[in-house]
Amino acid sequence: MSDIQRPVVRPRRLRTTPAMRDLVAETELAARQLVLPMFVREGAGEPVPISSMPGVVQHSRDSLRKAAAEAAEAGLRGVMLFGVPERKDASGSGATDPDGILNLAIADVVAEVGDALVVMGDLCLDEFTDHGHCGVLDAAGRVDNDATLERYAEMARVQAAAGAGLVGPSGMMDGQVAVVRAALDGAGHEDVGILAYSAKYASAFYGPFREAVDSSLQGDRRTYQQDARNAREGVREALLDIEEGADIVMVKPALAYLDVLRRVADAAGEVGVPVAAYNISGEYAMVEAAAANGWIDREPAILETLTAIRRAGADMILTYWATEAAAFLR
């Protein structure tokens, strides 16, 4: 060798073989940490593909049950359900109709899988309103926080009665977790938990979701969802939700907010509250589109994405790849 100084410390020693790399790996990714979000469409007919989310469909009630059984079989422990109603109106009445599609779907999945999966319901009005907002509007057309809370309270009671194990308030109304907790307790559903969408940002990456739920949103959600420039505020929202009784707090989206996820995980960890992250529709679509073009290698890209979200502090991840990723991890 020439006169270079030969290194004494060699981190590469711990990368020499797969066994060595496994031995020192810091982050575990397991099927039990993955939650599958699913869409279910009202009315008869076959499942409808969502073009901006290749591989994801609006389920029929039958295909939903089948997909839930497959999710349980694959080792997942939870599913999150979204309803796509046939008719929408100003107050989102389908959301609180016990025979509305989301509530029927919750009961269907519980009947199918029993307690093999934690069945979660998205608790928000945007899938059900004709204006597409997450709440009801006041006379001036603004989203009315406190009138919306009354709708969420009713939605929580109906989802719990249908058998939901966790409800997921995702509308970013102030005080929503406290109101949902009180509504559940008041109806004897003390054991139904709250997965709070706590730090939820106004994001361009929700694009494909709008197709997934046939959203008719005009304008945007910036008066209630958070501004991408704010990280401290995400921690504040999570701490408020914990005070209000959230059992699990969530950060959403995941990839463009891994710093927020880390900070929320640290803060929630201090008080022992588990943290979830939502790997959302646009994040899914980006990987699928690039992979379909042959620009990236799909399976490693999926696993790297999910590993990064775990590494940033998520105890669990909502991801449209959940069932498939569980198979990769076998």
Q: Which residues are catalytic?
A: 200, 252
Q: Does 209 bind ligand PBG (CB under 6 A)?
A: yes
Name the one range near ligand PBG by CB under 6 A: 17-25, 69-77, 119-127, 159-167.
119-127
The DSSP symbol for 8 reads: S
Distance CA 317, CA 265 (A): 13
Name the one range near ligand PBG by CB under 6 A: 2-10, 94-102, 121-129, 138-146.
121-129
The interface mask with ligand PBG, positions 265-304, x = CB under 6 A, is: ---------------xx-----------------------
Q: By CB under 6 A, how many residues form the interface with ligand PBG?
A: 10
Burial letters for 28-56: b for 16+ Cβ neighbours within 10 Å, e otherwise?
Answer: ebebebbbbbbbbbbeeeebbebebbeeb
| Contact between residue 314 and residue 254 where contact means Cβ atoms under 8 Å apart | yes
Distance CA 57, CA 41 (A): 9
Partners of residue 34 on adjacent β-strands: 317
Q: Does 33 bind ligand PBG (CB under 6 A)?
A: no
Distance CA 205, CA 168 (A): 20
CB of 164 to ligand PBG, least distance (A): 15
Q: What is the CA radius of gyration of the chain?
A: 21
Q: Does 241 bind ligand PBG (CB under 6 A)?
A: no
Q: Does 206 bind ligand PBG (CB under 6 A)?
A: yes
State the virtual CA torsion across 192, 221, 256, 199 in degrees, nearest 10. -40
| Contact between residue 260 and residue 233 where contact means Cβ atoms under 8 Å apart | no
Annotated binding-site residue numbers: 210, 221, 237, 281, 320
Of 33, 159, 170, 319, the residue at the interface with ligand PBG (CB under 6 A) is 170
What phi and psi values does residue 38 have, to the nearest 5 degrees?
Answer: -135, 145
Distance CA 215, CA 231 (A): 28
Of 76, 113, 117, 124, the residue at the interface with ligand PBG (CB under 6 A) is 124
Q: Does 251 bind ligand PBG (CB under 6 A)?
A: no
Distance CA 141, CA 137 (A): 5
Of 122, 241, 244, 288, the residue at the interface with ligand PBG (CB under 6 A) is 122
Nearer to ligand PBG, 27 or 216 (CB): 216
CB of 198 to ligand PBG, least distance (A): 13
Nearer to ligand PBG, 33 or 215 (CB): 215
Burial letters for 199-211: b for 16+ Cβ neighbours within 10 Å, e otherwise?
Answer: bbbebebbebbeb
Name the one range near ligand PBG by CB under 6 A: 39-47, 106-114, 120-128, 139-147.
120-128
CB of 94 to ligand PBG, least distance (A): 13
Residues that bind ligand PBG (CB under 6 A): 122, 124, 126, 134, 170, 206, 209, 221, 280-281
